[in-house]
Amino acid sequence: MNILFLLPRFSENKNDSSLEKELVMEFAEQGHQVYVSIILERYLRQKTHIKEVEGVQLLKIRTGNYYKDNIKYYERGITYMVLPFIFYREISRLIGEVKIDLVILSTPMMNNPWLMRKLKQKFGCKVILIIWDIFPQNGIDMGIIKNKQLIRFLTNKYTKALKLADIVTAMSSGNRKYLAEHFKLDESKLLVLKNWAKITPQLQDNRKEIRQKYSFHEDDFLMIFGGNMGKPQRLENLLNLAQRVKNDPKVKILFVGKGTELTRLGTQAQEMNLSNVSFIYQIPRKDYEELTKACDIGLVSLDERFTIPNYPSKTTDYFKLGLPILASLDACSAQDYGVFLRDETKTGLFGRAGDGDDLYQKFMELYRDNSLRQQMGRNGRQYYEACLGVNKAYQTLMDKYKELV
């Protein structure tokens, strides 16, 4: 089969990995001819071109700037609006003669209904839409999107994309139920597809050496939040937890990654005199995994205002590395993701986001019970190995595709 992925980015570094790249490489390793279309930002001063990377045909399509640091909101908005038309034109020019059997794309960047319709018409192909977030409801919940006309426009666009897709994946049963009920989707097209990973052997536990590398003591109790630091994560709740535990010199919270809230959070931590909080800007994947493995708890945080179920992607990393999870969750996610952690997989505990006492109590439950933490970590690793392999994600998608054709 000829498979076309539409992605915002795709690393050409063989050692880099991401959810999207791992799925792309799995399709290639299964013998499919894989094409990947990605954004080539204008500031890089390159023309649209196609090249082979790790056996994959990579279409680098020149657009306006989007991810470049310090660009204006209007510039990012213009790029987003014209991207579907540029992508369709360049895909048609570069691989228009290829018989594409299946297009795979995801929210929030690529699920443009005009582009989806044009590709389906041109190639006579099926389309799989992978749902990472439910937009614009998440922006509405956080008070970022308030204009009623904009809300109506974005909701209509999102709904059209859902209707056009032949298969729609959801990260959890709660996501699936929400999509079916709120968008009146045919449940036969909805598929639960949990975040995946390439199954790799357990990392060697170099706890002492890694901690020394980052200036931590071997007997420190380290909690780590890894990934995007943006508004949806509501990381003030974790800073408040740090404030509650700052009198215990062993307990420390480490934030690793980048995001729109990173600078503000660093300033807030200083204003709160939180000497037990550290920030590390984004580091290579290998270093991140080694550091996470050397920690005691993996942290998850979601904004308490959310009214949609969320399944944080960092969960897979924590499972892979054998960390128990402490999560600060909105009421909606608590009934879905929280139950998954506490009851279904027994891999962590959660507190109510915005309720500092509840989160602190759950922390203390884990902090005081080393055997509980160890068992939860083992449970996570076992679940990762049994259920989260990218090969299983591939087979789940292909089984559903075969039902259609």
* CATH classification of the domain holding 293: 3.40.50.2000
Judge if 191 and 319 occupy the same domain.
no
**Which residues face 280 on adjacent strands?**
256
Average pLDDT of every residue of the chain: 92
Judge if 232 and 354 occupy the same domain.
yes
Question: Is pLDDT of 344 > 80?
Answer: yes
Question: Is pLDDT of 144 > 80?
Answer: no
Judge if 193 and 285 occupy the same domain.
no
| pLDDT score recorded for residue 71 | 78
Question: Is pLDDT of 69 > 90?
Answer: no
Judge if 178 and 214 occupy the same domain.
no
Q: 10-27: per-residue pLDDT in tens?
A: 988 887 778 899 999 999
CA distances, 129 to each of 7, 53, 190, 353 (Å): 12, 24, 10, 30
No. of helices (H) and no. of strands (E), the chain: 16, 14
Q: 221-241: per-residue pLDDT in tens?
A: 999 999 888 888 889 999 999
**What's the token pair of residue 2?**
């000829």
| pLDDT score recorded for residue 367 | 96
Cis-peptide, bond into residue 136, ω within 30° of zero: yes
Residue owning tokens 């930002």: 41
Those residues with Cβ within 8 angstroms of residue 79's Cβ, 6 or more apart along the chain or in another chain = 63, 64, 65, 66
| pLDDT score recorded for residue 108 | 77
Question: Is pLDDT of 4 > 90?
Answer: yes
C-alpha–C-alpha distance, residues 268 and 280, integer Å: 16
Share of the chain above pLDDT 70, in %: 100
What does the pLDDT average to over 305-309? 88
What does the pLDDT average to over 288-292? 94
Pairing of strands 126-130, 2-6: unpaired
Judge if 130 and 13 occupy the same domain.
yes
What does the pLDDT average to over 173-194? 90
What does the pLDDT average to over 135-160? 83
Cβ pair 333, 348 in contact under 8 A:
no
CA distances, 148 to each of 140, 154, 155 (Å): 10, 10, 10
The number of distinct structural domains making up the chain is 2
| pLDDT score recorded for residue 70 | 77
State which residues form the domain around 24: 2-198+389-404
Pick the closest to residue 226 from 284, 151, 161 (CA basis).
284
Phi, psi (rounded to 5 degrees) for 237: -65, -30
Helix, strand, coil % (nearest 5) of the chain? 45, 20, 35
What does the pLDDT average to over 309-319? 91
Judge if 82 and 116 occupy the same domain.
yes
| pLDDT score recorded for residue 229 | 87
What does the pLDDT average to over 79-92? 93
| pLDDT score recorded for residue 145 | 81
Ranges 20-29, 132-141, 215-224, 332-341: which has the least confidence:
132-141
Judge if 158 and 261 occupy the same domain.
no
Judge if 175 and 211 occupy the same domain.
no
C-alpha–C-alpha distance, residues 326 and 342, integer Å: 10
Pick the closest to residue 257 from 232, 278, 272 (CA basis).
278
Judge if 15 and 102 occupy the same domain.
yes
C-alpha–C-alpha distance, residues 50 and 30, integer Å: 22
Buried b (16+ CB within 10 A) or exposed e, 306-323: bebbbbbbbbbbbbbbbb
| pLDDT score recorded for residue 284 | 86
Handedness of CA 88, 94, 98, 103 (dihedral sign): negative
Judge if 359 and 396 occupy the same domain.
no
Judge if 393 and 372 occupy the same domain.
no
Judge if 396 and 382 occupy the same domain.
no
Q: 196-206: per-residue pLDDT in tens?
A: 988 989 888 88
| pLDDT score recorded for residue 30 | 96
Pairing of strands 56-63, 49-53: antiparallel
Share of the chain above pLDDT 90, in %: 69
Residue owning tokens 């609006």: 81
